[in-house]
Structure 1
Amino acid sequence: MNTWLFDLGNSRLKCAPLHAGTVGAGFAVDHDGAILPADWQRPLPARFDHAVVASVAAPAVTVALLDALTGHCDRIARVRTQARCGGVRIAYRQPQHLGVDRFLALLAAHTRTRHAALIVGVGTALTLDLLDADGLHRGGRIAPAPALMRAALHARVPQLPAAGGAYAEFADDTDDALVSGCEGAALGLIARSREAAASLLDAPPQVLLHGGGAAALLPRLADAVHAPALVLEGLAQWQRSAG
């Protein structure tokens, strides 16, 4: 079966084909949270058999994606968070309150490693989820990602730039201080979570980093693994479990 995977976030859509259970080379498009770009479908094949979709975006953007996909395929599966799947058990008492992107990242992490993992998503939000070696989700945290921190500061204080600067532990310029403070806040939360996880599990977890803002943090996270397609990998794992 010719299957494509779609991960629709709050500001980005990632798409990739599924080849023999493995995520193939795909593409990504940015969006403004209200509408998808007019030409986003251009890299897609005219027809394929099956679409597997995960979305945390606004309902209107999700509906636009689903409507567009009906012109390419006859079968569309919308993935939602499940209490148990693929050896993973979700900590939330109400599983539907856990974002489907976080759920899928947990599935992918459990497939990647049978060791404990701290899964860090750096998108519009900064999300952290702890998964133990037995596939039990121990819970997580949500905070503004560095880019959102910058945007919020700029919106409240327009003279503070929304982007730019270079990271420093103690900056001597406002641009540098802003990027250092916002990225430093994220790094501090990750470090604290990793320390707490090591105490809880008696061993430090592997850190898996994904999302559009992950690359900026990666150089200052020792031993972290960059897994940019982690949610798509989770979609592939869900498809295997469902099939």
Structure 2
Amino acid sequence: MSDWLFDLGNTRLKLAPLEHDGTGPVSAFAHDGARFDPAWMAALPKDIDVAWIASVGPAALRASLLQALVPRAARVVEVRVEREMAGVRIGYAEPARLGIDRALALVGARARVSGWALVVGVGTALTVDLLDAAGLHHGGAIAPSPSLMREALHARAPQLPVDGGTAAAFGTDTADALAGGCLGAALGLIERSCKAAAALAGQPPVLLLHGGGAMQLLAQLDGAVHAPSLVMEGLARLAREPRGLEHTG
């Protein structure tokens, strides 16, 4: 038996065994908002000591995940956002209003970076959070990710293609212009946030990118560090310091 980590997001379920130095191999399974890819169950051992869950996904899928895990896990722990989390102090006036994925990414960043860090998640949304050298979260920003921008434009104006095109500063057809515009909007927010963070810190922060859309932005951001499993890394760190976590079963 062993401890396992579960990160339920808006489009994917990630899972990995908890190891003494962090996470083991991470597996990801897509979902459609209503049901999981059935292959995810085959990745699990028959028996689990503790299942550690972080969820921002649909309520019905969260319930399905709990239903699947309770019979095979000796204990199920669903992580909630607290003011203090493994060396990170959440900067929101009401910490519970911060998404658990953003909070865990900050915990993961704290383990990686000794100085200031700007943590950028690129999923359904584009999230930006600033963490200082003492572990204080200074807040952040939320915007549509480039893919969500394309989807929103297509929904309002179906003649605008939802994908395709090559991003450039000045596109010479509609698809290229959309690709460049949506990517440029995301990059603009990140670059503006980096500049503001550097003014606060007195030096540029370490820029960490995670999430399914991170690779699209990574090459455009000098010095950015790809941390694809940052949320899972934070969950692993919290699981080794399980103060103030809510026990579901």
Q: TM-score over 0.5 for the alignment?
A: yes
Higher mean alpha-carbon deviation, 200-209 vs 64-73, is at 64-73
Q: CA deviation at 1:48?
A: 2.0
Are 1:21 and 1:240, in contact at CA under 8 Å, matched by a contact in 2?
A: no
Amino acid at match of 1:5: L
Cα separation, 2, equivalents of 1:92 and 1:185: 25
Instruction: State the match for 2:170 in structure 1.
Output: 170
Amino acid at match of 2:89: R
CA offset digits 1:51-96 (Å, max 9, x no partner): 1000011211111111111233121110010101211101001000
Structure 1 residues 48-127: aligned runs within 5 Å? 48-127=48-127
Instruction: State the match for 2:24 in structure 1.
Output: 24
Higher mean alpha-carbon deviation, 14-23 vs 114-123, is at 14-23
Instruction: State the match for 2:182 in structure 1.
Output: 182
Cα separation, 1, equivalents of 2:33 and 2:196: 34
* TM-score when normalising by structure 2: 0.94
Q: CA deviation at 1:41?
A: 1.3
Higher mean alpha-carbon deviation, 222-231 vs 155-164, is at 155-164
CA RMSD of aligned residues (A): 1.2
Q: CA deviation at 1:19?
A: 1.4
Secondary structure at the counterpart of residue 193 of structure 2: helix
Cα separation, 2, equivalents of 1:10 and 1:28: 12
Q: CA deviation at 1:144?
A: 0.5
Cα separation, 2, equivalents of 1:40 and 1:164: 30
Higher mean alpha-carbon deviation, 38-47 vs 146-155, is at 38-47
Amino acid at match of 1:187: L
Q: CA deviation at 1:241?
A: 1.1
Q: CA deviation at 1:155?
A: 1.0
Cα separation, 2, equivalents of 1:242 and 1:52: 10
Q: CA deviation at 1:173?
A: 1.5
Higher mean alpha-carbon deviation, 75-84 vs 155-164, is at 155-164
Identity within the alignment, %: 56
Instruction: State the match for 2:149 in structure 1.
Output: 149
Instruction: Structure 1 unaligned segments of length 5 or more: list them.
Output: none
Cα separation, 1, equivalents of 2:105 and 2:48: 25
Higher mean alpha-carbon deviation, 37-46 vs 89-98, is at 37-46
Cα separation, 2, equivalents of 1:189 and 1:64: 36
CA offset digits 1:94-144 (Å, max 9, x no partner): 000000001001111011111100000000000000000010000000011
Cα separation, 1, equivalents of 2:70 and 2:163: 38
Secondary structure at the counterpart of residue 242 of structure 1: coil
Cα separation, 2, equivalents of 1:42 and 1:108: 27
Q: CA deviation at 1:200?
A: 1.3
Change (3 A) 1:21 1:51: farther
Instruction: State the match for 2:246 in structure 1.
Output: none
